Homo-oligomer: A and B are copies of this chain.
């Protein structure tokens, strides 16, 4: 009764307006939670529903049929003839497996380091007693293929080149095609962290010589975290034969042997494999090229919108998995991240490490669409304005709409508009 009375009074307070409307604090509205981060990413409903079927046993034909299909579909969407294996692990477990199974303590390697994830390669090298030469780019920049070429020429002992296809911490993308062509000519293998690269950039694994690539479930695959993927070339398998590093859980040869029989070496994450099966069906139906194009278009629209709002893209070589944006001068990017959560219950990410406060990141990888972006940019405009950086309402959204119109609306129609 009290609630009703209050609603009535809220309504009548402004009844003199053309459209009567209560004024109440923003904390009191309905705000659906929206996960709009570069991992975990928004979840595909059909994949989530499939997880309800996880009361199957992993040493039965039911499971083997599922796993065989998942591995075949993974190969298909990755577009590779290399072996593809899954691990019950985060992406970082996949990175370790990609090192531990192929190299030995004391091995000399080359690491392209352009952000927090490049630094993770360096940590893994250190943990496994390997001697890494590090090509370091400033945060936001990338390592040039020419630098890789020079380093390989200078040291013929280098056994592996490590890189991030997409450096999630800065929004930068490496030119892995050019790098692959260079590494291909040497005895070194090319190890690519493609955790946020898969599904956001073209990756011709076989053609470009990406000997090992690592992926993760909670990225463009649209399912929760918990699975890592590793694709391994014959050149990498050959190197594995010489590896003396100890291993047990992340034993890729053991995984490969089991995979032939439709099984995993250890207890698999059945729920996530069921989810992945549905996600791969969705991706196959859409087309991997369209999944990539989707991210590219949303990234382009995001760059157009934030540029229109007078903001600056952080990376000199922006990729399509995530766009890192500098806040207006004097504003902490954490304020923007918090305001998204408080005002709209939308979760976006701050910078990591020393980039915290310096950038906020808008993701595009996987199950994202224009609907998400229209709303997100409208919200960004409001947040900037509410925090002392007034912008023209609708101007960033219009930039997104213009990109949509360019890619999806007949030019004949647009010719007559008053935009």
Q: Is the Cβ of A203 less than 8 Å from the Cβ of B30?
A: no
* A125-133, A141-149, A393-401 - interface stretch: A393-401
- Proximity string of chain A (334-376) to chain B, C-beta cutoff 8 Å, 1 when within and 0 when not: 0000000001111000000000000000000001111110110
Whether A402 is near chain B, meaning CB under 8 Å from some CB there, is yes
Whether A293 is near chain B, meaning CB under 8 Å from some CB there, is yes
Chain A 284-306 residues near chain B, CB threshold 8 A = 286-294, 296-297, 300, 303-304
Chain B proximity of A171: nearest CB distance (Å): 13
Q: Which residues of B contact A292 (CB under 8 A)?
A: 7
Chain B proximity of A386: nearest CB distance (Å): 5
Q: In the complex, A79→B7 CA distance in Å?
A: 12
Q: In the complex, A3→B206 CA distance in Å?
A: 13
Contact of A417 among B8, B390, B401 (CB under 8 A): B390
- Known A4-B203, A385-B413, A388-B413; contact A419-B393, beta-carbon cutoff 8 A: yes
- Proximity string of chain A (374-415) to chain B, C-beta cutoff 8 Å, 1 when within and 0 when not: 110011011001111011111111101111111111100110
Q: Is the Cβ of B297 less than 8 Å from the Cβ of A22?
A: yes
Chain B residue nearest in CB terms to A287: B3
Chain A 15-59 residues near chain B, CB threshold 8 A = 19-26, 28-34, 42, 45, 52
Q: Is the Cβ of A394 less than 8 Å from the Cβ of B401?
A: yes
Q: In the complex, A6→B379 CA distance in Å?
A: 35
Q: Is the Cβ of A21 less than 8 Å from the Cβ of B375?
A: no
Q: Is the Cβ of A22 less than 8 Å from the Cβ of B407?
A: yes
Q: In the complex, A394→B304 CA distance in Å?
A: 14
Q: Is the Cβ of A79 less than 8 Å from the Cβ of B381?
A: no
Contact of A367 among B19, B32, B402 (CB under 8 A): B32
Whether A60 is near chain B, meaning CB under 8 Å from some CB there, is no
Partner-B contacts on A (CB < 8 A) = 1-8, 10-11, 19-26, 28-34, 42, 45, 52, 77, 79-80, 202-204, 206-207, 286-294, 296-297, 300, 303-304, 343-346, 367-372, 374-375, 378-379, 381-382, 385-388, 390-398, 400-410, 413-414, 416-419
Q: In the complex, A30→B3 CA distance in Å?
A: 41
Q: Is the Cβ of A8 less than 8 Å from the Cβ of B407?
A: no
- Known A11-B296, A398-B393; contact A28-B371, beta-carbon cutoff 8 A: no
Chain B residue nearest in CB terms to A204: B4
Q: Which residues of B contact A303 (CB under 8 A)?
A: 19
Chain B proximity of A16: nearest CB distance (Å): 14
User: How many copies of this chain?
Assistant: 2
Can you name 28 A-B residue pairings with CB atoms under 8 Å? Answer: A1-B80, A7-B293, A21-B403, A22-B296, A22-B297, A23-B407, A24-B290, A24-B293, A30-B290, A31-B369, A31-B370, A32-B371, A370-B375, A370-B379, A374-B378, A375-B378, A378-B400, A382-B404, A385-B413, A386-B410, A386-B413, A387-B413, A392-B398, A393-B394, A394-B394, A394-B396, A394-B398, A397-B397
Q: In the complex, A270→B223 CA distance in Å?
A: 29
Chain B proximity of A4: nearest CB distance (Å): 4
Given A28-B290, A32-B371, A378-B401, 8 other A-B contacts at CB below 8 A? A19-B303, A23-B406, A26-B408, A29-B293, A30-B368, A31-B369, A343-B408, A394-B398
Q: Is the Cβ of B304 less than 8 Å from the Cβ of A3?
A: no
- Known A382-B404, A398-B393; contact A21-B297, beta-carbon cutoff 8 A: yes
Cβ-closest 5 pairs across A and B: A394-B394, A26-B408, A394-B398, A7-B289, A390-B417
Q: In the complex, A237→B407 CA distance in Å?
A: 62
Q: Is the Cβ of A390 less than 8 Å from the Cβ of B419?
A: yes
Q: In the complex, A26→B203 CA distance in Å?
A: 23
